[in-house]
């Protein structure tokens, strides 16, 4: 049985004190018995939010990482730096990073490996644009993103560390979520790809999430689908709606 996981992606929102205030206001209402919960605030906020989450089972995630261990990479953050802030999860290959910050399949794969090597958990994001959806080439697109991102990742590493998030770009921040049928169809397809690349046992263990305009009102329909093991939540994670989503 795969435990569901709900992940908050604060993106570039909340200063340190704002994030601390907000997380303090929701943390006691979040029940982690049935659902793993991860909060991904921005880098400067991580250390403070780690303290804020102390004593809870809510886990801390980062929104990005650089794959090199250390050195002259101005503006970048290493896996060890994330570990020093108590980070357990890290978003990799979010479409905003792919589109605006030149993240490629190759850098996504390198980031996945650098996180796994230190036993952190990549939240590997894949998703198609509206153009690709309308062209009807979205299955091939997602398959190629997954194959490239998981290059040289072993079955054991995949099961132990990786979470895959299907996030159609046309649904992110638009208020237009994929329907639960569309989300389930793609999450099921991703599970089939994992089965092809590894084996059935692995495909049954890996957690596959949906992200894109998940709100309190559509959370339960989406999260009750057979192949959807959780949600990656942007906008609604900045408000009390997040509590309702976790307690779907
Ligand atoms: P959204 O963002 O919930 O605001 O659509 C999701 C995401 O980008 O992870």
| Residue 94 annotated as catalytic | yes
Q: What is the mean pLDDT of residues 214-228?
A: 97
State how far the Cα of 233 lies from the Cα of 6, in Å rounded to an integer.
7
User: DSSP 3-state assignment of 163?
Assistant: strand
pLDDT of amino acid 175? 86
Q: 126-181: per-residue pLDDT in tens?
A: 999 999 999 999 999 999 999 999 999 999 999 999 999 999 999 999 988 899 99
HSE-CB of 167 using CA atoms within 13 angstroms: 30
State how far the Cα of 245 lies from the Cα of 224, in Å rounded to an integer.
12
Catalytic residue among 94, 96, 103, 184: 94
Which of residues 175 and 113 earns the better pLDDT score? 113
Question: What is the best residue among 235, 245, 246 to mutate for testing ligand 1's pocket, by most ligand atoms within 8 Å of CB?
Answer: 235
Q: How far is the CA of 211 from the centre of ligand 1 (A)?
A: 6
Q: Whose CA is nearest to atom 1 of ligand 1?
A: 234
Angle at 24 between CA 21 and CA 25, to 5 degrees: 85
For residue 214, pLDDT beyond 90: yes
For residue 191, pLDDT beyond 90: yes
Atom of ligand 1 nearest to the CA of 215: 3
What are the DSSP calls for 33-91, one per residue? SSEEEEEE--GGGHHHHHHHTTTSSPEEEES---SSSSSS-TT---HHHHHHTT--EEE
Tell me the whole-structure pTM to 2 decimals: 0.97
């Amino acid at each position: 049985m795969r435990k569901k996981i709900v992940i908050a992606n604060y993106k570039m929102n909340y200063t340190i004190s704002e994030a601390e205030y907000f997380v303090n206001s929701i943390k006691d209402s979040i029940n982690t018995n049935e659902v793993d919960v991860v909060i991904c605030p921005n880098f400067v906020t991580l250390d403070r939010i780690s303290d804020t989450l102390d004593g809870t089972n809510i886990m801390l995630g980062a929104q990005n990482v650089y794959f090199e261990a250390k050195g002259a990479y101005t503006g970048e953050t290493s896996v060890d730096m994330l570990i020093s802030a108590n980070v357990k999860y890290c978003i990799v290959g979010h479409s905003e990073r792919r589109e605006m910050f030149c993240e490629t399949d190759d850098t996504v794969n390198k980031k996945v490996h650098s996180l796994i090597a230190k036993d952190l958990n990549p939240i590997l994001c894949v998703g198609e644009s509206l153009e690709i959806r309308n062209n009807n080439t979205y299955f091939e697109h997602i398959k190629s993103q997954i194959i490239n991102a998981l290059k040289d990742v072993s079955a054991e590493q995949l099961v132990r560390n990786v979470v895959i998030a299907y996030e159609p770009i046309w649904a992110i921040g638009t208020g237009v979520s994929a329907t639960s049928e569309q989300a389930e169809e793609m999450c099921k397809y991703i599970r089939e790809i994992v089965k092809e690349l590894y084996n059935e046992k692995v495909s049954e263990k890996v957690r596959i999430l949906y992200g894109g305009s998940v709100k309190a009102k559509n959370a339960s329909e989406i999260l009750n689908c057979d192949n959807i093991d959780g949600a990656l939540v942007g906008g609604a994670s900045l408000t009390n709606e997040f509590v309702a989503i976790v307690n779907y």
